[in-house]
Amino acid sequence: MTERQPSLSLKHAVGYVRVSTAEQAEEGFSIAAQEARIRQECERYDGQMKLVHVYADEGISGKSIEKRPGMIRLLDDVKAGGIDAVICWNISRIARNVANLLEIIDILEKNSVSFISITEKMDTQTPAGRLMLQIMASMGEYERNNIAENVYLGSRRRAQEGWTNGGRVLGYDNVVDADGNRTLTVNKSEAIIVRRIFRDASLGKGYRSIANALNKEGYKTKRGNDFSSTAVKGIVSNPLYVGKVRYGEYRHWEKLRRKGKQEDVLLVNGKHPAIIDKNMWNDVARLVRHRKKVPTWNASGENVLTGLLRCPECGGPMAASNTTNRLVDGTKRRIRYYSCANFRNKGSAVCHANSIRADEAEELVKMKLIQTLSLKDIGESVLRQMRENSQERLSRIERQQTANLNNQDDLRHSLDKYHQLIRANKELETAILPRIEEIQDQLNDKQEEELNLEKTKKSFVNLPNPRDIQELLVVVARLIRRADKCSLKALYQTFIAQITFSREKKLVWVQLEFDNEIVSQLKAQSKEAESKADSVFSFTKRIEFVV
């Protein structure tokens, strides 16, 4: 838009007056009194300022612009041109909060329209008035940049207290409790569907399979639609159903989408009742983690290294396949192979087959693991790796702490600027104090977040005893010796990061991965296996392994 220059001779001014219902009876607030003061102000300019119109909003609050027709018409006319100045009796007539005031001033400034407030002696035609406007404009820029942050912090604070921020969700109804808080109550008929989904998921059924079964039986989502695999996945991964509130998993979704995933996700106990018990939740969560590591085309079956075995040439995944060989006596034998998936999908321009017999690779890995897990110093080695992993996580937490402290500095700087603005013009105090309180609340939230980060940081110090790890891995080695292929695959997926091999040298390199969560999973798997097969363990304890 081309910027208009104000007239060098006669300036056309308009006035704005407003009074709310509560202010009608107060002396000096009447529409007529405000208009009279505006006309007197115009006379001070010795005929250089002509009042052409007065816009009025009578009996209307100044909390927002949208509900004030007089203000809307004023701003439309400002944008259309022909107005050189807007005069009001008091800044509070223009707006009751800083955000709206700065929004209106910004529109006037962009259209080269001066703003005059009689009570505050603010006139943007003077150097002092322009300085005040620049200060307020800088605060306006800060306001606009922090709208999303304010919403986020407010919602995060609500979530920290255990209240949900989401919309409609299957299994619950949104209600308001006796204290006026928005919360959730269980919808009994929908809760049956949720429990059905979790029960099927705990039995190993896939998302698509669960969705198809629900649709076939006529069940619907909260919005009355058919179930999809995405809808089922969203339900089984939502901690809301176990009585938790999760917040802040993604930031700036509209711009970054999944790239905005955050590390400091908030997860706290909620105020709402749970639908799923913790044991069911943990069982399903463990299966979901396992499914993520295993490609969907081979999540079960006999190919125990799928998703772990890597091509020695390109580093890509090795996929299993079958071939049938005819022996000398005429009989046929089915042989399994692992070969480079990139070669199979994209051809020799990308990589080569690098095939290896599946039974051969699986036996090599099994032997390597039993040998490694039986080493007398394996507990110390694993503990050393866990310390390294903890150091990486500690580094991430320290980066979050640094960002948190920087945010606190910014908030303190903003508080200082607002206090300076009040000292420069005491009349702005009523409009600015609510914003100061909001920033102070944000600062308190950041300080509380700092304490939580410090608690999380201390939790990484509590690592298992190396002797306990040693004993656990001895049990895992025994499990590997006698486990069936399905159990073996589950064990491998728990603590193996990847496997590479040399077919010529018949060697494998197994990269193990341990942290507190993995150790806990191994304990659970070992305990379950021992309880089911004590006699098998008593037998395997007598087997000696020879490399």
Cα–Cα distance for residue pair 290/491, rounded to 1 Å: 10
CB count in 10 Å sphere of residue 215: 14
- How many CB atoms neighbour CB 54 within 10 A? 18
Whether the Cβ atoms of residue 168 and residue 456 lie closer than 8 Å to each other: no
Distance, CA of 446 to CA of 150 (rounded, Å): 12
Q: Can you give the three-state secondary structure of 239-298, one letter per residue?
A: HHHHCEEEECCECCHHHHHHHHECCCCEEEECCCCCCCCHHHHHHHHHHHHHHHHCCHHH
For the chain, the farthest-separated pair of C-alpha atoms sits apart, in whole angstroms, at 119
Nearest Cα residue to 480 out of 437, 448, 510:
510
DSSP string covering 13-62: EEEEEEE-GGGTTSTT-SHHHHHHHHHHHHHTTTTSEEEEEEEEEES--S
CB 512 within 8 A of CB 496: yes
Say whether 20 is catalytic.
yes
Residue 351, SS3 per DSSP: coil
Which two three-digit tokens encode residue 81? 């041109």
d(Cα 367, Cα 330) in Å, to the nearest integer? 33
Q: Compute the distance between CA of residue 61 and CA of residue 370 in angstroms, rounded to an integer.
A: 76
Cβ(485)–Cβ(302) below 8 Å: yes
Residues in the chain: 547
**Residue 311 exposure: Cα atoms within 13 Å on the Cβ side:** 20
Task: From the candidates 20, 112, 209, 487, give the one annotated as an active-site residue.
Answer: 20
The catalytic residue positions are: 20
